[in-house]
Chain A
Amino acid sequence: MNLIKIKEPKSSKNDTKICLGIDFGTTNSVCSVKVKDKFQFILDEKGETLIPTMILYNSKTKKFGNQIMKNESYFNSIFSVKRNFTKDFDLKVYEDENGSKISSMEVSKDFFIYLKNLCEKNLNQNIFDCVITVPAYFDEKARSGIMRAAFMAGLRVRRLINEPTAAAFAYGLEKKKEGIFFVYDLGGGTFDVSLLKLADGIFKVIATSGDPNLGGDDFDILYAKWLVKKYFKIDFDSLNKREKLKLVKKSKLLKEKLFESQAFNEKLKVNECVKEIGINIKDFNKVINNLIDRTIQISMKLLNEVDIEINKIEGFVLVGGSSRIKCISEKIKENFETTIFDDVNPDFVVSKGAALHGYELLNGSDNVLLDVTPLSLGIETMGGLMEKIISRNTPIPAIKEQTFTTHENGQTAIKFLILQGERETSVNNRKLGEFILSNIQPKPAGIPRITIMFSLDADGILFVTAKDEETGIQNKLSVKTNDDLDLNDMRKIVESSIENAKDDIHQRMVIEAKVKAKSFLNEIESVKKDIELLCSKNDIIDIEDNVNLLKKSLETNDCDMINQNIEKLNKVTESFAQKRIEKDFSDVIGKDVDKID
């Protein structure tokens, strides 16, 4: 008894919980952590803090970041995978080390696993918790995609925070600053601006804006195009893919060299033709001028929107690797009468903010971070217009409801299209998903009352519920990728896999099996009515038994059993699946479907 008592206080009292801060950048990633009041950056095998967001799949091996040598294989690596999150990140456009086709999300998952392992090696312990930063102007799909990739890597994402907010948090805490600050965050692939009020432990975002597809990568491409045109009289677009990539990477190196010196000579090779050319900062500035002007315009527009005079703002904080380009601070000074704060390391400050916030989330604090949603959210109404339900720069979390009705007599179903963006017509906004609320009591047009609830949580992730006020029938939707699992379900699976997992690999296998099982169960649940309609009594009992079996195995961390039970359920539902396809077909032929808006 006494022995146990002596041991107890040590394990429970002095330990602080560990939470990584991960800045998953387009070009570089940085991880950091605060352990027992001490903040530290995570170093890779080469002792570097800045880890290039690069992945190289060779035959049977994977390499990451600084492991990839700058030789021929360098150009086979995957660059800027984060840029795909604003497009379709589920497309299987890459090939892994075994030759299987994989998506941008899976590539990012592998990169997160690499980062997780690095951190575990640095700290000599298992780590699951993290805060991940995302560009403030990232939309719903991109946010949930990043979160999903981290979940699949076995990380428990405690919070997604916006990059400029994280930067301001670290900056405000470190420099003990108060007042209104403008964060100008120009990274490798994204541009964000945020206006924040810092006061006494409060970090409140007033408004945010940006461009999710504008960053240092674009400067590299423009500069490469200009160089080949000017010195080789070749059209960049006529070059082959490999040559293009080489030039863009060379252009990036030249850009970085220009941070240090104003002019120098450099050998450039295009299609086996080598020339020595004079590189200078003036040419570079001219080439990227339009893009820099665009960042200034976005900054100005935001300041005009918020109704705050420029003299009320303490100044601009420059963040992001690309903000090192000198002409940026000159342009800002030209256009705004304000102070520029460049006394932070623009590459590291975002990760630091995430780590400090993560520490406070798990260990408590009086500081509070209040953020806003960057883009308006709404649904499509008659005539293809977007009806806004939550408008941009609304503080999160936010819950808003709106009531809609049918527009045809006897209509029994409504299709809702969830949209995000600022344009009036829905085709110009990003489509987040659609769902159908069926079984509405047939009534004359305009009589049914359907309430749509948009709930935006503190991660900036949207959950939508539609409810028929009369029948109480509800339909839930969360923004998700192709398979049918929402992020709350994913989070639970990751949490349950953390306990009892033998090792990292086992943990990820458990997550994969559970995600597959849960999606399958959701699918069965959604076609429950059809099962009752199309299957024999014995079949129904058989399916139910196997569903229960699978549900039961989900409570364990036995992935072999889960996979076996998925297989079993698959077998007993085979004949149903066939019947359903036939039914769907006859439905279309017989036009026996509900009238849907």
Chain B
Amino acid sequence: MSVKSICWSCENVIPPNCFLCQKCNKIQPPKQIDEFKLMGIPETFDLDLDELEKTYLKLQQLFHPDKYSQLSDQEIKYSTLLSSMINEAYQKLNSSISRATILLKLNGFNRHSEDKSFNDPDVLEEIMDIQNEFLEAESSELKKLTIQKLNSKISETMDNLSISFKNRQYETANKLNIKLSYLEKIRIDFKKQL
């Protein structure tokens, strides 16, 4: 599948996932690659987010258009494109939900088709319960307690998600990820109401 690409400036061969020509050091037109490859990090759910940020910043230090402002229009265009892609990839990988979605997609799971048929009664009940608990909580102290409960549910779901990715159980991972996005939605809702 992969076609050999050649530097637009010096015609040297560019290895895959390389953004600079090794011979003339010119920036190359970025290709469509997945977020993990773009950032040059292993394809895993369990990312160290501090490390991810460091990688992100290092890449921007190399490819941000500010570094190319003196060069040709073409190079400015490529750096703007690449820098935009790095920005987006970082944002997506930084969130557990979209990171899981990317991993699922890479493993042949398309979330949207599964989304509509999602009606796991246990999960729905769990969500309803915690929402009611929040509504019925009379003091802000009690509400905060519910949020704590929700937070521990979130981290529990995250742990399970991580395990199912490790065991390559993508169907389970998909369900857990949908659950996680529901929980995250209520968390933001709760915070607004506090």
- Chain A residues in the interface with B (C-beta under 8 A): 158-159, 201-202, 204, 304, 360-362, 364, 366, 368-370, 394-400, 455, 457-458
- Report yes or no: A369 in contact with B66, Cβ–Cβ below 8 A: yes
Complex Cα distance, B87 from A458, in Å, reads 12
Interface flags, B82-111, vs A, CB<8A=1, else 0? 011101101100000000000000000000
- Please indicate the chain B residues that have their CB under 8 angstroms from the CB of A400 in the complex: 88
Picked from A304, A361, A364, A397, the residue with its CB within 8 Å of the CB of B84 is A397
Given the known interface contacts A397-B80, A398-B88, A399-B81, the answer about A458 and B61 at a Cβ–Cβ threshold of 8 Å is no
Picked from A361, A364, A395, A455, the residue with its CB within 8 Å of the CB of B91 is A395
> By CB atoms of chain B within 10 A, which of A159, A368, A400, A457 has the most?
A368
A-B residue pairs in contact (CB < 8 Å), sample of 8: A159-B69, A204-B57, A361-B70, A362-B69, A368-B61, A395-B91, A398-B88, A399-B81
- Please indicate the chain B residues that have their CB under 8 angstroms from the CB of A396 in the complex: 84, 87
- Please indicate the chain A residues that have their CB under 8 angstroms from the CB of B91 in the complex: 394-395
Picked from A361, A364, A370, the residue with its CB within 8 Å of the CB of B60 is A370
Q: How far is the CB of A503 from chain B (nearest CB, A)?
A: 25
- Report yes or no: B65 in contact with A457, Cβ–Cβ below 8 A: yes
Q: How many A-B residue pairs have CB under 8 A?
A: 57
- Report yes or no: B66 in contact with A398, Cβ–Cβ below 8 A: no
Picked from B69, B80, B85, B88, the residue with its CB within 8 Å of the CB of A361 is B69
Complex Cα distance, B66 from A304, in Å, reads 31
Beta-carbon nearest neighbor of A19 in chain B: B69
Interface flags, B28-72, vs A, CB<8A=1, else 0? 000000000000000000000000000001001100111101100
Beta-carbon nearest neighbor of B57 in chain A: A202
8 additional A-B residue pairs with CB within 8 Å, beyond A204-B57, A368-B61, A369-B64: A159-B66, A159-B69, A360-B66, A395-B90, A398-B87, A457-B65, A458-B65, A458-B83
Beta-carbon nearest neighbor of B90 in chain A: A395
Q: How far is the CB of A307 from chain B (nearest CB, A)?
A: 8
- Report yes or no: B57 in contact with A458, Cβ–Cβ below 8 A: no
Q: How far is the CB of B37 from chain A (nearest CB, A)?
A: 18
Complex Cα distance, B57 from A369, in Å, reads 10
- Please indicate the chain B residues that have their CB under 8 angstroms from the CB of A457 in the complex: 65, 80
- Report yes or no: A370 in contact with B70, Cβ–Cβ below 8 A: no
Q: How far is the CB of A143 from chain B (nearest CB, A)?
A: 16
Interface flags, B146-170, vs A, CB<8A=1, else 0? 0000000000000000000000000
- Please indicate the chain A residues that have their CB under 8 angstroms from the CB of B80 in the complex: 397, 399, 455, 457-458
Complex Cα distance, B85 from A398, in Å, reads 7
Given the known interface contacts A204-B57, A368-B60, A368-B61, the answer about A397 and B87 at a Cβ–Cβ threshold of 8 Å is yes
Given the known interface contacts A395-B87, A395-B91, the answer about A366 and B64 at a Cβ–Cβ threshold of 8 Å is no
Q: How far is the CB of B57 from chain A (nearest CB, A)?
A: 5
- Please indicate the chain B residues that have their CB under 8 angstroms from the CB of A304 in the complex: 191
- Please indicate the chain B residues that have their CB under 8 angstroms from the CB of A201 in the complex: 61
- Please indicate the chain A residues that have their CB under 8 angstroms from the CB of B65 in the complex: 397, 457-458
Complex Cα distance, B61 from A458, in Å, reads 14
- Report yes or no: A458 in contact with B66, Cβ–Cβ below 8 A: yes
Picked from A366, A399, A455, the residue with its CB within 8 Å of the CB of B61 is A366
> By CB atoms of chain A within 10 A, which of B65, B66, B85, B87 has the most?
B66
Q: How far is the CB of A129 from chain B (nearest CB, A)?
A: 10
- Report yes or no: A368 in contact with B64, Cβ–Cβ below 8 A: yes
